[in-house]
């Protein structure tokens, strides 16, 4: 990681949830000019990670009502496990796959960890810190972690460095998470920085497989990742509305319904 990126990540950690970080103090701590620190704070504010105030910056607090990552982990857990099992069934030995952020994709990582011995020479690329933690101890796969700026509320890495790390990669499949999925708005998420990284992942993949439980259907997040026309498969649970499933199939999207017996 370049010195500038490491310093910016350290500034984010210092800001925490409530702390004010001051330009003068940061300049002394990191041994760089106040001009450089102001540039750091302005860039982090541009990413939506900090809010500039007189003399420094404060962390951007999570929006009221926005569910934390830990809370999302517990929602629709059985459906996510079935979706993950179906997803890993698509992987073949020696495949190269990207695992996006999101809790359903994390369940897929857990499934991969359980069956890694069968997925010989599998390569996994991710910017998700929970996915990395899940797969780091697994000896039977090749694991690549992308760099970038860490978003604590989303537990993933984002920003120009993350996007740049994907530019020259080519993989067989992307497992893409979503906060919303609709015919008109496509695959959506609540964070614009995550969306930027996810779009770069889509460009790197031959096949784009969305993993989303049926509660995400007809929901619309803040920003679109890709339209429906750019995905190849959707794996969801058997609670998905029949008319939505039929509409996707008419558009050429393969829909896999992960039922309780599947």
CA distances to 10, 32, 56, 151 from 44, in Å: 12, 17, 12, 11
Global pTM exceeds 0.85: no
Average per-residue pLDDT for the chain: 88
pLDDT in tens, 136-157: 999 889 999 999 888 887 889 9
Mean per-residue pLDDT, 179-184 = 94
Domains in the chain (CATH in brackets) are 3-59 (1.10.10.10), 69-258 (3.40.50.1360)
Mean per-residue pLDDT, 94-101 = 96
Q: What is the structure's pLDDT at 64?
A: 39
Helix axes 3-15, 23-30, angle to 10 degrees: 130
| Sign of the CA dihedral with 221 first, then 91, 117, and 197 last | negative
| CA 186-176-148 angle, 5° bins | 110
């Amino acid at each position: 990681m370049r010195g500038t990126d490491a310093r910016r990540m350290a500034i984010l950690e210092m800001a925490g949830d409530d702390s004010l970080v001051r330009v003068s103090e940061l300049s002394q701590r990191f041994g760089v000019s106040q001009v450089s620190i102001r540039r750091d704070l302005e860039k982090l504010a541009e990413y939506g990670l900090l809010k500039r105030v007189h003399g420094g910056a404060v962390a951007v607090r999570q929006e009221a009502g926005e569910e934390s990552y830990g809370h999302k982990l517990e929602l629709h857990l059985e459906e996510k496990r079935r979706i993950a099992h179906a997803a890993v069934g698509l992987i073949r030995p020696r495949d190269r796959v990207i695992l996006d952020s999101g809790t359903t994709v994390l369940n897929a990582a857990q499934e991969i960890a359980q069956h890694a011995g069968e997925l010989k020479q599998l390569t996994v690329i991710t910017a998700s810190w929970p996915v990395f933690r899940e797969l780091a101890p697994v000896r039977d796969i090749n694991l690549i972690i992308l760099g970038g700026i860490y978003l604590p509320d989303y537990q993933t890495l984002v920003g120009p460095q993350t996007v740049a790390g994907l530019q020259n990669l080519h993989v067989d499949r992307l497992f893409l998470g979503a906060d919303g999925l609709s015919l008109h708005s496509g695959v959506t998420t609540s964070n614009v920085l995550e969306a930027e990284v996810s779009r770069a992942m889509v460009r790197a993949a031959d096949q784009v497989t969305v993993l989303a439980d049926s509660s995400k259907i007809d929901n619309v997040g803040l920003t679109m990742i890709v339209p429906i026309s750019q995905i190849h498969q959707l794996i969801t649970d058997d609670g998905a509305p029949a008319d939505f499933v039929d509409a996707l199939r008419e558009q050429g999207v393969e829909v896999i319904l992960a039922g309780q017996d599947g």
